[in-house]
C-alpha cells in the first residue's frame, strides 16, 4: 500500500528508484524497537530522576586515585546495586601496590557459558583525577542551563558513565532481558593513574576479556559539532625520562676538548631533535619538565624538583620527563627506537640515557570495531537517533580498554557526555545519560540474542 502511494508521486530531480524507496521504507519499518525494547526504553525514562540523584551522590564522594578510602566508598555504593541485578560481585583489593582495587562482577548465562549470545564485558573505573587536596569537590547544577548541565569532579569521567551502565542494566532487568545475558563487569580503582606492575593492576580485566566476546567501555562519550560520535580506538599513553651528563668546570672551557659541551646542551640537542625528527601522523610527544645544572633532582612523583647552578659553571647533570601518544603499538615501538637512536648520538664529553615507563598501550581501529559501530547504528535507527560517525582517536586520551583490545573488539566511551574532563569545572549533559543508557540497553540485548 505504501509503495503504491509512492509510485503515484513525482520526486523532482530524484535519482532513487521506486524499488529503492520501497526498500528504504521497509528498512525503516523493521528498525522500530520491538515490544521488549520499548519496555527497556520506558524503564530508562522512569529511572531518570533516580539516576541523576545517584550521580550527585557518587560525585560528592572524593575518589581521587590515591584516596584509597574514597575509591572504596564509591565501590560501596555501586556494588550493592550490581548485586541487586543478579550479579555475583567481589572486591579485589590491590593495596599491596598502593591502589584501592577492582570491583569484579559476573552475570552468568542460565543455560551455560557461551549460550546467551555474545559474552559481554563492561569496563569502567571508580576513581577520578581529583584528589582530596583539590578545591573542586562538589556536584552542582550549572546556572542558566535549564537544569540540564551539572558540574563536579568526575561528573562525566566517569561517574556519569557508571550511572549510564547501571541505568542500562536496570532497564534490562525490568524488561526481563538481563535474565538471559552473560555479562561481566570490571571497574578499576586506578584508571586515571594505573598501578604497577600492569600484570597485577590489570589482571582482573584481562582475565575477564579472555572469557568475553565484546567489550563496552563506559568512559565519557563523544560529541562533536552537536552530534554524538562513537570511538573504536584509543591512542597509547607512555612517559619517558631523559637524563644527560657532562663534565663540570669553569665555563671558560665549555666546548673545549677537556670539558666538552655540558649536560644542558646535550639535553637541548636531544629535545630539539625529538621536535624535528619524530613527527608522524597521529603521534604527539611532549617535554613536560626539565631540570639541569650543577645539581638536579626530581621528586618521587616526577611532578617537581630542585636544581642549582652558576652561570660560570659547565653543568654536569640534566633531567627531563615527558609523554608520547601513538595510534598503534607498532608506532610505539618505532618511536621508542627512534628516540633511543637520537639519544645515543652524544655531543662531545657528554652522555645520555632514556627510559620508558609501563604506560597504556594503544587500541587500533579494526574491522571488528567498525562492525560494532554498524550494529550500534541499527540501534540508533530503532531509537530514532542519527547514525553515529567514528571519532578520531587523536581527540581522546588513553584508557583501560586498550589492555583488553588484543583479545576482543569493543566500543570506546559509551558513557555520559560532557566537557572539561580532568579540569576544575568538568561538566556533564544530563540528558546524555538516558540517551546513552537506551543505546546500551538495546545494544546489549541484541548482542545477547546473536
For the chain, the maximum distance between any two Cα atoms, rounded to a whole number of angstroms, is 95
CATH number of the CATH domain containing 343: 3.30.70.360
Instruction: Please indicate, yes or no, if residue 13 is contained in any of the structural domains.
Output: no
Upper half-sphere CA count for residue 172 (Cβ side, 13 Å): 29
My answer on whether 187 and 102 are in the same domain is yes
My answer on whether 337 and 384 are in the same domain is no
Mean pLDDT calculated for residue range 30-42: 91
My answer on whether 398 and 430 are in the same domain is yes
Predicted local confidence at residue 396, as pLDDT: 87
Phi-psi category of residue 409: left, alpha or beta, with phi > 0 → left and psi -120 to 50 → alpha: beta
For residue range 373-428, list pLDDT tens digits in order: 999 999 999 999 999 999 999 998 899 999 999 999 999 999 999 999 999 999 99
Are the C-beta atoms of 413 and 230 separated by less than 8 Å? yes
Total domains present in the chain: 2
Among 301, 274, 298, which residue's Cα sits nearest to residue 285? 274
pTM of the complete model: 0.86
Predicted local confidence at residue 218, as pLDDT: 98
Dihedral in degrees, nearest 10, Cα atoms 130, 134, 395, 169:
30
Q: Residue 348: is its pLDDT beyond 90?
A: yes
My answer on whether 225 and 137 are in the same domain is yes
Predicted local confidence at residue 290, as pLDDT: 98
Q: Residue 151: is its pLDDT beyond 90?
A: yes
Q: Residue 27: is its pLDDT beyond 70?
A: no
Instruction: Please indicate, yes or no, if residue 183 is contained in any of the structural domains.
Output: yes
Percentage of the chain surpassing pLDDT 70? 93
Instruction: Please indicate, yes or no, if residue 378 is contained in any of the structural domains.
Output: yes
Instruction: Please indicate, yes or no, if residue 351 is contained in any of the structural domains.
Output: yes
Return the percent helix, strand and coil in the chain, to nearest 5.
40, 25, 40
Are the C-beta atoms of 175 and 39 separated by less than 8 Å? yes
Total H helices, total E strands in the chain:
12, 21
Q: How far apart are CA 32 and CA 378, in angstroms?
A: 10
Predicted local confidence at residue 302, as pLDDT: 86
Least confidently predicted of 29-38, 44-53, 270-279? 29-38
Cell for 415? 558513557
My answer on whether 418 and 273 are in the same domain is no
My answer on whether 182 and 242 are in the same domain is no
Instruction: Please indicate, yes or no, if residue 9 is contained in any of the structural domains.
Output: no
Cell for 329? 603499538
With the C-alpha atoms ordered 302, 304, 309, 311, is the resulting torsion angle positive or negative?
positive
My answer on whether 223 and 287 are in the same domain is no
My answer on whether 265 and 390 are in the same domain is no
Q: How far apart are CA 306 and CA 264, in angstroms?
A: 15
Instruction: Please indicate, yes or no, if residue 153 is contained in any of the structural domains.
Output: yes
Which residues is 33 bridged to in the sheet? none
Mean pLDDT calculated for residue range 64-78: 97
Instruction: Please indicate, yes or no, if residue 2 is contained in any of the structural domains.
Output: no
Cell for 49? 530522576
Among 388, 378, 124, which residue's Cα sits nearest to residue 232? 388
My answer on whether 116 and 182 are in the same domain is yes
Are the C-beta atoms of 46 and 38 separated by less than 8 Å? no
Percentage of the chain surpassing pLDDT 90? 89
- Among 356, 389, 417, the domain-final residue is 356
Mean pLDDT calculated for residue range 332-341: 97
Q: What domain range includes position 308?
A: 238-356
My answer on whether 311 and 381 are in the same domain is no
Choice between 10 and 300, residue whose per-residue pLDDT is larger: 300
Q: Residue 50: is its pLDDT beyond 70?
A: yes
- Among 303, 331, 356, the domain-final residue is 356
My answer on whether 117 and 194 are in the same domain is yes
Are the C-beta atoms of 37 and 442 separated by less than 8 Å? yes
Predicted local confidence at residue 140, as pLDDT: 98
Mean pLDDT calculated for residue range 307-333: 97
- Among 337, 356, 375, the domain-final residue is 356
Instruction: Please indicate, yes or no, if residue 25 is contained in any of the structural domains.
Output: no
Mean pLDDT calculated for residue range 81-107: 97
pLDDT, mean over the chain = 92
Span between the terminal Cα atoms of the chain, in Å: 32
Q: How many other C-beta atoms lie within 10 A of the C-beta of residue 276?
A: 9
Q: What is the DSSP letter of 96?
A: G
Q: Residue 3: is its pLDDT beyond 60?
A: no
* CA dist list (Å): 414 to 107, 158, 287: 20, 10, 32
Q: How far apart are CA 87 and CA 82, in angstroms?
A: 6
Confidence tier at 64 by pLDDT (50, 70, 90): very high
My answer on whether 299 and 397 are in the same domain is no
Amino acid at each position: 500500500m505504501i509503495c503504491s502511494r509512492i509510485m503515484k508521486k513525482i520526486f523532482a530531480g530524484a535519482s532513487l528508484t521506486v524499488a529503492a524507496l520501497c526498500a528504504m521504507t521497509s528498512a525503516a519499518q523493521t528498525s522500530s524497537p520491538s515490544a521488549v525494547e520499548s519496555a527497556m526504553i520506558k524503564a530508562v525514562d522512569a529511572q531518570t530522576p533516580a539516576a541523576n540523584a545517584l550521580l550527585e551522590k557518587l560525585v560528592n564522594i572524593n575518589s581521587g586515585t590515591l584516596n584509597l578510602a574514597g575509591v572504596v566508598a564509591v565501590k560501596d555504593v555501586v556494588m550493592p546495586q550490581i548485586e541487586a541485578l543478579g550479579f555475583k560481585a567481589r572486591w579485589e583489593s590491590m593495596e599491596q601496590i598502593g591502589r584501592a582495587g577492582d570491583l569484579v562482577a559476573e552475570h552468568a548465562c542460565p543455560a551455560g557459558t557461551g549460550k546467551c549470545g555474545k559474552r559481554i564485558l563492561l569496563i569502567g573505573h571508580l576513581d577520578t583525577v581529583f584528589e582530596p587536596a583539590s578545591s573542586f569537590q562538589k556536584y552542582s547544577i550549572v546556572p542558566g542551563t535549564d537544569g540540564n548541565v551539572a558540574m563536579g569532579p568526575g561528573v562525566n569521567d566517569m561517574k556519569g558513565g557508571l550511572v549510564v551502565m547501571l541505568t542500562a542494566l536496570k532497564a534490562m532487568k525490568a524488561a526481563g532481558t538481563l535474565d538471559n545475558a552473560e555479562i561481566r563487569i570490571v571497574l578499576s580503582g586506578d584508571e586515571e593513574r594505573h598501578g604497577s606492575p600492569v600484570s597485577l593492576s590489570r589482571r582482573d580485566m584481562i582475565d575477564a576479556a579472555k572469557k568475553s566476546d565484546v567489550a563496552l567501555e563506559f568512559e565519557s562519550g563523544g560529541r562533536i559539532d552537536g552530534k554524538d560520535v562513537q570511538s573504536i580506538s584509543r591512542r597509547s599513553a607512555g612517559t619517558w625520562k631523559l637524563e644527560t651528563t657532562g663534565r663540570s668546570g669553569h665555563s671558560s672551557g665549555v666546548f673545549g676538548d677537556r670539558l666538552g659541551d655540558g649536560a644542558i646542551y646535550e639535553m637541548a640537542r636531544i629535545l630539539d631533535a625529538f621536535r624535528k625528527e619524530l613527527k608522524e601522523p597521529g603521534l604527539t610527544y611532549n617535554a613536560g619538565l626539565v631540570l639541569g645544572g650543577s645539581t638536579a633532582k626530581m621528586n618521587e612523583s616526577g611532578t617537581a624538583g630542585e636544581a642549582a647552578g652558576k652561570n660560570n659553571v659547565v653543568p654536569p647533570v640534566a633531567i627531563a620527563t615527558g609523554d608520547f601518544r601513538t595510534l598503534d603499538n607498532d608506532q610505539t615501538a618505532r618511536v621508542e627506537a627512534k628516540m633511543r637512536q637520537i639519544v645515543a648520538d652524544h655531543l662531545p664529553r657528554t652522555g645520555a640515557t632514556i627510559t620508558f615507563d609501563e604506560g597504556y598501550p594503544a587500541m587500533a581501529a579494526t574491522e571488528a570495531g567498525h562492525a560494532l559501530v554498524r550494529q550500534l547504528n541499527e540501534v540508533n535507527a530503532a531509537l530514532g537517533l542519527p547514525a553515529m560517525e567514528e571519532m578520531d582517536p587523536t581527540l581522546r586520551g588513553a584508557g583501560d580498554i586498550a589492555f583488553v583490545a588484543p583479545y576482543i573488539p569493543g566500543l570506546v566511551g559509551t558513557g555520559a557526555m560532557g566537557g572539561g574532563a580532568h579540569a576544575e569545572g568538568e561538566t556533564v549533559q544530563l540528558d546524555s545519560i538516558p540517551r546513552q543508557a537506551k543505546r546500551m540497553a538495546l545494544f546489549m540485548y541484541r548482542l545477547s540474542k546473536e
